[in-house]
Amino acid sequence: MLTINMLLPREEVRLEDRSTRDLDPGTVRAIMDILESSDVIKKAESGRRNPIYSIPQLFVVNLLRDAERKPYGKVKGLLTDELCKAIGLPKKRDGTCRIPSAGRLNSFVMNDWALCSDEFQLEFAIAAIEKELASGNRVVITIDSTPLEASRYNLDAQFNVHYAIRMDKAHIAMINGAPLFNIQTGGRRNDCTQAADLCRGLRSTGRLWCKDVKFMMDAGYCTFECFAEAFLATGSRPYVVLRTNSVIHEEAEWSCLQAQYCRMHRFQDYDPYKKNDERHVLKFLCQHGRAELVGKYLQNCEIRRQMKEGRLVSSDEEPDTPPEEATGTEIPVLPDDSDASATPLGAAVESGSPDVLEDVGKKKDTDRSVCEALHHAMKRWVPFDIRGISHKLRRLTVAFRFNAVQILSSLFARYSTGATC
């Protein structure tokens, strides 16, 4: 397991003013401290030959430029003497600070930072996960997408009918409002196609398996593959906004999974004494080509959980019909062999009280509102879009701005349940 030395700010020193406008020297110094504690940046610095500016210095100058929405040529007017001192820029012979040129700043984003962006993203994700798990707070992981708006003159950007704009998509995984991983795709790409890669990123951290985690996804991820990948990432049942055509699959009941597990006794990692261990059985089946069956079972569990909470009704029953006057199919009761409290995993999931608003599933889960609030805040902190960016430079620019958002989210006060940006 990797050892992470990145120092993220403590909760009590987070800034209540979530704004990147007119960043003061103290905030800039805090950003520099996070960057200078990164092992990835230290490794990248060791390979450079006599650089005039360090990687943290160039990163912060580019961040200030993005925060103020200024072109590269206007950087000189943004940096005051106090900011230059906080950044630690070198000085000329006349005592004034030496400010990076527009070409150097652009070359840093497209070349220097592009070499370590993915590694820094993983390092920050591990540091953020370790911090949240050590805090003792409830851990909520969300996966969702947000549009990267393009100009109408960006003809290479795809037109999305739902948003009625030209755009790309940013598929983001978060933990308690801190962005962990980002995948950029075209504007018409379905959300569920990127869930597997995001979940594999969460699995690569090696910190989330068998933890008390609430994994949330919206209806765009309501597929069997997404259910299975979400389980493999955390070892817990995901909370998913179900689609209207979701049904209970009888061939994926717990007894059927146990029978399938016993028939695969010749496969590696088979243990006859663990056929009642839900985590072991589901992980075993996923690893040996039965992910779809596991996804159906997890969807059955989610349907029954929401029906038990009153968020779902059967297709023949009206939502507002009193119980004594109901004429439709009754809400099914979990059988003994698939009861949520029959295994340690089910007990852990059902014991937690999910913060959901009851209106037959039409209102948004308040835990997911934190994710939506941060999506809006990201676009307020930096220009998290692709307006006026050529197709060749688009991914590198978005990757840099996402890393900047990761740092800012750890520095600013976190968004609470029901918060707005």
Percent of the chain residues topping a pLDDT of 90: 61
The C-alpha angle 143, 146, 149, rounded to 5 degrees, equals 165
pLDDT score of 340: 37
Per residue in 66-86, pLDDT (tens digit) is 999 999 888 988 899 999 999
Token couple for 419: 């918060």
- Cβ neighbours of 215 (radius 10 Å): 25
Closest CA to 225 of 192, 259, 203: 192
Per residue in 235-283, pLDDT (tens digit) is 999 999 998 888 999 999 999 999 999 999 999 999 999 999 999 999 9
Burial-class residue 369 by CB neighbours within 10 Å (0-12, 13-18, 19+).
middle
The sign one gets for the Cα dihedral 47, 31, 199, 266 is positive
Task: For residue 56, name the pLDDT band (cuts at 50, 70, 90).
Answer: very high
pLDDT score of 113: 95
Percent of the chain residues topping a pLDDT of 70: 84
Per residue in 376-406, pLDDT (tens digit) is 999 999 999 999 898 889 999 999 999 999 9
142, 217 in Cβ contact below 8 A?
A: yes
pTM to 2 decimal places: 0.83
Secondary structure (3-state) at 127: helix
Q: In this structure, what DSSP letter does residue 60 have?
A: H
Per residue in 276-322, pLDDT (tens digit) is 999 999 999 999 999 999 999 999 999 999 988 877 765 544 444 33
Examine the pLDDT at 186 and tell me if it is beyond 70: yes
